[in-house]
Amino acid sequence: MGRRLLLEHDNVPGIETFEVYRKQGGYRSVEKALKSMSPEQVVEEVQKSGLRGRGGAGFPTGMKWSFLAKPEGVSRYLLCNADESEPGTFKDRYLMEKIPHLLIEGMIVSSYALGANTSYIYIRGEYMWVLDILEKAIAEAYASGFLGKNILGSGYDLDLYVAPGGGAYICGEETALIESLEGKRGNPRMKPPFPAVKGLWGCPTVVNNVESIAAVVPIVNDGGDEYAKIGLGKSTGTKLISAGGNLVRPGVYEIEMGITVEEFIYGDDYCRGIANNKKLKACVPGGSSVPILPAHLVTKTAAGEDRLMTYESLADGGFASGSMLGSGGFIVFDEDQCIVRNTWNFARFYAHESCGQCSPCREGTGWMEKVLYRLEHGQGNMRDIDLLAEINKKIEGNTICPLGDAAAWPVAAAIRHFREEFEWHVNHSEEAQKRNYGLLKEVASA
Amino acid sequence: MVKVTIDDVQIEVEPGTTILSAARQIGGDVVPPAMCYYSKLPGTGGKCRTCLVEVAQGSEKDPRPMPKLVASCSTPVMDGMVVKNKTSERVHDNRGGVVEFLLINHPLDCPVCDQAGECHLQDLGYEHGSAKTRYEEERRKFDPIDIGNKIKLHMNRCILCYRCVHVANQLTDKRVHGVLHRGEHAEISTYIENAIENDFSGNMIDVCPVGALTDKTFRFKSRVWFLKPMDASCSCTKCSGKAVVWMFGNEIYRVTARKDAYGEVEDQDGKAGWICNDCRFDRKDVSNWTIEGPRKINRHSVISQGQYLSPRDTQKQLTDGNK
């Protein structure tokens, strides 16, 4: 088992309370930052750490912070994106549920680094009970003087609020999140201007994922260089992976970047292999929007090297034979699972969650869903498979926000790697109609 | 001033100008089509994706091309930028894709649609659409509803350009007219079937690029190409009073604002020439108006077919440089 920086104390009883958290060394980073570091120094440490955004895109957090515009007399805001709605991803929920104070501590230090005096945690509407946990923790932090006016006598003020969304996937897109927070319909904005220049209420704003903000705590405590020692190359530190699907032991794992995918799936410290002694068929390594990988490309890259749990290694081979680390929603399929059904399920999600603002996404996601529904239910024809690939190409890259890409990639990858299964659905329409779930044995082995 | 090259034509424009408005300054067929952008309505644009163009060179300083096609209506030009619109195969291909997306749920009821003949989606479909659809599913259906007693909303035809939402946002302060639901199910509506109480609400009809919002005082009265558009003015206290009256013989069938080649209202006295509901819906008598003369219509428009000009006049108009 590798080092655990975020979930080190997740099993300590009462860790959700301020007292226990403080006893375990909590809020040290706030003391360190506010008393001995300037905001610029904190930003510098984060830059040194090489921390990359944990929400999915993997953009370096320190660089994002350095882009923040700092005009005189204009407020700046830090928003925490807790609208974790990517299918297969549940790491932020675990973190907030178990150790809410870690997020709050990270928010204080990050807000201090960015010079924000008001910060928000935007949490998805489905996480209502987590909202209660966070609000309770925030109240405790206020009572102990870690939030509010003149924190620890440093002269730095911070107000922290939790704002629940209505449960829309699109509000995880940073500009849609800002719109939603402003009380409007959660439609992504056109960029430029980027939030770093014009974000919440027209002020410079940084939006970071829950895990990125939590990771700032160990970075400030131990220094950015220390954090950068963990991991491999440009994938530094630890990463929370929410493993789901047909695994012996699914759950949230904190891994050191750079362990092999094989170890993660089969290792005793992690998922302990595929459930029910089945074989691995496919894996979606980073949440539903990243390309699916067939078994032979999950543990090895196309070049035959070991596939590692890093941003680079998972993306090795581009979309032809690689995928993405994304948000760390690691979904594993065993040999009985039907890729067509799963692809339809994902497509249905994106069709449902498209905001409907720009035409390729609004019409394209719905169209793909309908075609995939027909294929899955034995009413498709060979033409449909090519049609899907065509629709894909017309959506990808042509939309306002990345939701269009997120909807197009899984479908494109499924057709690329599992075309014969789509064709089976066309050629065996009666069996496809009768059977609702899982492939027939002979087809799976064929 | 910054230099930008669009389809091999170079032009100097103010910094901050969008690619689309730079293209409009050049004019002609380098101008990308725009279904949602409306220069007179701040905040519009970026949604329909028909104006996508390829940026072959980002700027003089950073000559790298942009990896994705960009929405020309909302991307500002940079000095030395090289843009490809009609000269790009990629743009043509993807614009065709966008048009297909816009049409899959469109009812294609042009034969009974009042917008036919002046519909931007028709033009776009004509230029980029294919003769056959690949969409086998059932099209989205809504019942037509009334927005007040003068405006009809046919949601089936709507392409969700949000222009009318921006008009309503300018007119009213309670967000009474907007978009309900999400994705494919998104629909324009007033909550619920309310009238918009404003003297200028009729301008929502003028900004609609398709036949989703139509004038109830004109619906099914005549095809637009049977009418003569005439510039006319009246002494209105609410608006500029400068409008176009669409006549058949000596009767006024409908009144619209004066629109330019891109379907946007022209400026009148330095301001956008929106017209009020009184002018639009109620002044249908010739005695209300001073007729200034025939409206010049683009000669490619179906409206100018079989028109009031004799062939010699048409020739004269052409040589005079009717644009």
| CATH T-level assignment (fold) for domain B2-101 | Ubiquitin-like (UB roll) (3.10.20)
* Interface residue of B88, B182, B189 to substitute, partner A, most A CBs within 10 Å: B182
Question: Do residue B49 and residue A168 have CB atoms under 8 angstroms apart?
Answer: no
Round to whole Å and give the CA distance between B157 and B108.
Answer: 8
Assess whether pLDDT exceeds 80 at residue B27. yes
Residues of A in contact with B102 (CB under 8 A): 359, 363
User: What CATH number labels B103-131+140-218?
Assistant: 3.30.70.20
What pLDDT does residue B321 have? 55
The residues facing B76 across adjacent strands are B18
User: What is the identity of the amino acid at A154?
Assistant: S
Give CA–CA dist B185/A76, Å, rounded. Answer: 36
Cis status, amide bond into A71, omega within 30 of 0? no
Any idea where the domains of chain B sit in the sequence? 2-101, 103-131+140-218, 228-320
**Omega before B159 cis (within 30°)?**
no
HSE toward the beta carbon, residue B270, CA cutoff 13 A: 0
Does the distance separating the beta carbons of B184 and A398 come in below 8 Å? no
A397 contact residues in B (CB cutoff 8 A): 67-69
Taking CA–CA distances from A372, the nearest residue in chain B reads B137
Residues 6+ apart with CB under 8 A from B105: A363, B135, B139, B140, B156, B184
Nearest to B163 by CA among B3, B34, B304: B34
Distance (Å, whole) CA B65 – CA B56: 5
pLDDT of the residue at A431: 82
pLDDT of B192 reads 65
Q: Does B183 touch chain A if contact means CB atoms closer than 8 Å?
A: yes
Of A192, A357, A363, the CB nearest to B47: A357
To test the contact with chain A by mutation, choose from B18, B20, B35, B49 the residue with the greatest count of A C-beta atoms within 10 A, namely B49
Are A366 and B74 a contacting pair at CB < 8 A? no
pLDDT value, residue B311: 52
Determine the pLDDT at residue B313.
60
Cβ–Cβ below 8 Å for A356 and B100:
no
Question: Does B74 sit within 8 Å of A168, measured CB to CB?
Answer: no
Which of A173, A180, A354, A363 to mutate to test binding with chain B, by most B CBs within 10 Å of its CB?
A363
**Residue B301 pLDDT level (bands cut at 50, 70, 90):** confident
For testing contact with chain B, the best of A197, A359, A372 (most B CBs within 10 A): A359
Distance, in Å, from the CA atom of A418 to the CA atom of A434, rounded to the nearest integer, reads 21
| A213 sits in which H/E element | helix A210-222
A93 to each of A248, A402, B280, how far by Cα in Å? 21, 23, 56
Interchain contact, B49 vs A357, CB within 8 Å: no
The pLDDT of residue B193 is 65
Report the residue of chain B nearest A184, measured CA to CA: B175
Instruction: Tell me the pLDDT tens digit for each residue of B125-180.
Output: 888 888 888 998 999 999 998 888 889 999 999 999 999 999 988 877 777 888 88
Kindly calculate the radius of gyration of chain B based on its CA atoms and give it in whole angstroms: 20
Q: Which pLDDT score, from 0 to 100, does residue A254 have? A: 94
Nearest CA-CA distance, residue B182 and chain A, Å: 5
What does the pLDDT read at residue A158? 94
Please tell me if residue A363 touches chain B, with a CB cutoff of 8 Å.
yes
Q: Does A381 touch chain B (CB under 8 A)?
A: no
User: What parts of chain A have a pLDDT lower than 50?
Assistant: 438, 440-441, 443-446
Q: What percent of chain B has pLDDT over 70?
A: 93
Judge whether A356 is closer than 8 Å to chain B, CB to CB.
yes
- By C-alpha distance, the chain A residue nearest B106 is A363
Instruction: State whether B94 and A394 contact (CB < 8 Å).
Output: yes
pLDDT band at residue B323 under the 50/70/90 scheme = very low
The 10 Å Cβ neighbour count of residue A73 is 4
Kindly determine whether residue A359 and residue B46, on different chains, have CB atoms separated by under 8 Å. no
**Residue B241 pLDDT greater than 60, yes or no:** yes
What pLDDT is attached to residue B318?
59
Q: Does B45 touch chain A (CB under 8 A)?
A: yes
Span A6-34, pLDDT tens digits: 998 888 999 999 999 999 989 999 999 99
pLDDT for position B130: 83
Average pLDDT, stretch B294-303?
Answer: 75
**Cα distance from B65 to chain A (closest Cα, Å)?**
15
Cβ-nearest to B101 among A353, A360, A397: A360
Query: What's the mean pLDDT when you consider all of chain B?
Result: 87
Token pair 């959700």 is found at A16
Q: What is the mean pLDDT of chain A?
A: 91
Task: Answer whether B318 touches A (CB < 8 Å).
Answer: no
Distance, in angstroms, between B283 CA and closest chain A CA? 37
For B62-99, how does the pLDDT look when each residue is reduced to its tens digit (9 = 90+)?
A: 899 999 999 999 999 999 999 999 999 999 999 999 99
pLDDT of res. A445? 46
